[in-house]
Amino acid sequence: MARILAFTNNKGGTGKSTLCVHAAQLTAQRGYRVLLIDLTSQATASNLYLEGAGSLPAPETVWASLHPQHQRPLEEVIYCTDKGVDVAPSHSTMAEVAAQLAAAGEMGQNLLQRQLDPLLPDYDFIFLDTPGELNALTANALRVAQRVLIPTRLNRADFSCTEVTLRYIEALKGQLSHARAVLTMLDDRYLPGGIWSGSHTGQLYVQAQQIFADVLSPVTIPDSSDLRIAFDYGLTVMDYRPGSAVCQRLLQFVEREVLL
């Protein structure tokens, strides 16, 4: 049966989709059967994995599966990719789905769960890339997730949004043992023992440890030009530069936070 992981934060620009797509591919490279479901309007994961995803009509995407008035079987909008990851692509109008789910009341609260249930035996891992806001789509994802990864950057604005996200998760699930905050886009020189650890940014890392405590993942994702260049080429960093330092760190993240 599949293990379901949601990547979420009540804020855009934290590296959520970046972390999700790389974790999914690295997991697939270990021989696991992986499905990635894109729930975002930006469709970053969809476009990276599936050529032409941006031109798919809404009825051929996850939009049709999660819209309460359509509920097309999710298995009918899953596409195979050349990266070993199956993808259920999103559509630019996913905000409409979120609004319709909210309006549907109790029926809309667990629609994603009902769509996923028939697929659970077919995959080892299911990755959910959620919107950068706490809407009904995000709530659906958080209800089904056995693991929640919350990418956050090293600044107080991100800390505040991450705290809001954690409170939201706790309200939905009743506990936080399955949640991890993950610091992204962080230069290692700001970490304890680094040459910039005494700087303002370095002290923010210490604050993150104090604020998030056991929820904070020990694995940080470094700031990397390799990641940015790979995305510009429509690639993951494993395709662009598989031996890079950021690729090795992403692998550590997968081993620590996904596979365990």
pLDDT of residue 226: 94
Tell me, letter by letter, the H, E, C secondary structure of 66-122: HCCCCCCCHHHHCECCCCCEEEECCCCCHHHHHHHHHHCCHHHHCHHHHHHHHHHHH
Within 13 Å of residue 14, how many CA atoms lie on the same side as its CB? 32
Q: Is the entire prediction scored with pTM above 0.95?
A: yes
- % of the chain at pLDDT higher than 90: 95
**Which homologous superfamily is 3-152+222-258 in?**
P-loop containing nucleotide triphosphate hydrolases (3.40.50.300)
pLDDT band at 260 (very low <50, low <70, confident <90, very high): confident
Q: Which residues contact 169 (CB under 8 A, 6 or more apart)?
A: 142, 148, 176, 179
Is a pLDDT exceeding 90 seen at residue 217? Answer: yes
pLDDT of residue 244: 95
pLDDT of residue 218: 97
Distance linking the first and last C-alpha atoms of the chain: 15
Is a pLDDT exceeding 90 seen at residue 103? Answer: yes
- What's the mean pLDDT in 172-196? 95
Distance CA 2, CA 29 (A): 16
196: DSSP letter? T
Partnered with residue 252 across adjacent β-strands are none
Convert the pLDDT of each residue in 132-154 to its tens digit.
Answer: 999 999 999 999 999 999 999 99
Is a pLDDT exceeding 90 seen at residue 68? Answer: yes
Convert the pLDDT of each residue in 23-67 to its tens digit.
Answer: 999 999 999 999 999 999 999 999 999 988 989 999 999 999 999
Is a pLDDT exceeding 90 seen at residue 230? Answer: yes
pLDDT of residue 189: 96
Distance CA 71, CA 65 (A): 4
Which residue is listed with tokens 């109790």?
106
What is the chain's mean pLDDT, rounded? 96
Task: Name the residue ranges covered by the structural domains of the chain.
Answer: 3-152+222-258
